[in-house]
Each structure stands twice: as C-alpha cells, then as structure tokens.
Amino acid sequence: MKVANIYNFLNEVSPFDYQEKWDNSGLLVGSMEDEIERVYISIDLDKQLLESMEENSLVITHHPLIFSPLRTVNYDSYATKLLKMLIQKNCVLISMHTNIDRTHLNRYVAKDILGLDIIDSEDYVCYANVDCDFESFSKDIANRLNLNYIKTVKCNDKIKKVALVTGAGMSMISEIDADCFLTGDIKYHDAMEAKARGISLIDVRHYESEQHFSPLVLGLIKEYLKKNELKAIISASKNPFEYNSL
C-alpha cells in the first residue's frame, strides 16, 4: 500500500488540520509515494522499537519525533539518531498528536480506561459527573492507570464534577470548570495555582495517561488494514522514567 492511502484514511479519522500551530503532526519521514508492508503503532519512538521494526514499514506515533526545525543532522540528539535509523530502514513516520487529542484520545481514556460517564467534551477537556469522596476516587484512578503511587492536590473532601486532559494539560487550568482536574506533568507552581482556584488535582502522569494511544489507533484502523491485507503491530516504547522505592 502507498503511504498516501493510509495517510488519507487517518486524515478522515482525525484531520491533521486540527493540530495546534506549534505542533508537527502528519507525515514526518518518508514520501506519500512510498510502499509499506506493515504498520507499527506506538506512543513514541525509541531505539529499541526501531531496532525491532522490519524494513519498508510505517510507524504511527502520538508524539512527533521532530518538533523544531533541525539545523544540523549529526546524530548526537534523540531526533537525529532515530531519524538516521528510519532512513536506513526505509521506514515512514506519521505522527498524530494534538489532532487526535482533540478528536479521540481524551474521550477514549475518560470512558474506556477510567470508566467515567462523560457529560461534555469541550475541545481537549472531557467532563464527567462524579459523586465520590476524594480519597476513594484517587485510589480508583491510580488502580485503573496502574500507578504505584499518586500525586494529588486536595481542595475538597467530595468530588462532584471532574475534568480530564491527558498528557500535560495544566496550561488549561483557567478554563477548567470542575471540582477536580486530572492531567499529567503537574509542577509545584501548578499545584499552588490550583489551590488558589479551589480545584483539586490528580496527576495521571504523561506516559501513563497517553500510552492508550496505541490500542485506540489500532481500533480505529484495524478493519481498514485488514481489508488491505496489512498487519498492525502495537510495539509501545518504554516509559523513560523509572519509579523506585528507597
């Protein structure tokens, strides 16, 4: 299959024009005319994943390998090291980042992973009604995401309405209309801001909340790939962080 065929299908599922201006989703490596023999799906690219990939493959990632323009390609950075490997293997890279956040990922994680009953979905933010005490709700979220510990900011004992943005969503705190906000990459000053606004926080982490990109995309494209006799392989990159008890 030509890359153009699957690119156009993905664009119908989640239009690349929906991405933010600062984002770099779309076809990053390869040509629309390239022929591919199999498809890999992963939240990110890493060396281990690329070494396992066969030649003439397409890899669909959530996070783009290249964000800013490359001024040099000297193979000493994360992006350039993997770019060299992609080209050597004649592999194609398509990334679906903020476009699929807006159209699918946040709702998928809220409903299918966290078991929330969505009442509204405004662009990136999913809202759900929750009638639960904060401690019980926090533990349930941790269990559903397989978190070995959980970082929270508690402003209220009871939660009635919750908001979710996967990945890193604290830049949207001023827009949140809920008792509790679930997102990742929460920093110290973010916690202080949430305290001032009276919004409780549960840090669902970046990788742990967005790794569900892979099964989501597989579900969206598997029938199309099957019809075109292409095999899809979920081969998620590993979380770069390790959490150890001292």
Is 80 exceeded by the pLDDT of residue 245?
Answer: no
**DSSP class per residue in 120-172:** EEETTEEEEEEEEEHHHHHHHHHHHTT-SS-EEE-S-SEEEEEEE-SSS-GGG
Type of residue numbered 205 = R
Residue for token digits 């770019």? Answer: 83
Q: Is 239 helix (H, G, I), strand (E, B) or coil?
A: coil
For CA atoms 138, 143, 144, 147, the dihedral sign is positive
Q: Which residues pair with 2 in a beta bridge?
A: 35
Residue for token digits 């995401």? Answer: 145
Q: Is 29 helix (H, G, I), strand (E, B) or coil?
A: strand
Confidence band, pLDDT 50/70/90 cuts, at residue 53: very high
Confidence band, pLDDT 50/70/90 cuts, at residue 237: confident
Confidence band, pLDDT 50/70/90 cuts, at residue 231: confident
**DSSP class per residue in 72-108:** ---S-SHHHHHHHHHHHTT-EEEE--HHHIIIIIHHH
Is 80 exceeded by the pLDDT of residue 246?
Answer: no
Type of residue numbered 150 = I
pLDDT, mean of residues 55-80: 93
pLDDT at 68: 87
User: What domains sit in the chain, N to C, each tagged with a CATH number?
Assistant: 3-96+210-234 (3.40.1390.30), 100-203 (3.40.1390.30)
Per-residue pLDDT of 109-150, as tens digits, reads: 999 999 999 999 989 999 999 999 999 999 999 999 999 889
In angstroms, the CA 126 to CA 246 distance is: 36
How many other C-beta atoms are found inside a 10 Å radius of the C-beta of residue 239? 14
Contacts of residue 105, defined as CB under 8 A and 6 or more positions apart, other chains included, come to 62, 166, 210, 212, 213, 216
pLDDT at 235: 72
Q: Which residues pair with 182 in a beta bridge?
A: 164, 202
Average pLDDT of the chain is: 95
- The b/e string for 157-178 (b: 16+ C-beta within 10 A; e otherwise) is eebebbbbbbbbbbebbeebeb
- Radius of gyration from C-alpha coordinates of the chain: 19
| 24 half-sphere exposure, CB direction, 13 A CA radius | 11
Characterize the bridge pairing of strands 26-29 and 151-153.
unpaired
In angstroms, the CA 173 to CA 176 distance is: 5
Q: What is the pTM assigned to this prediction?
A: 0.94
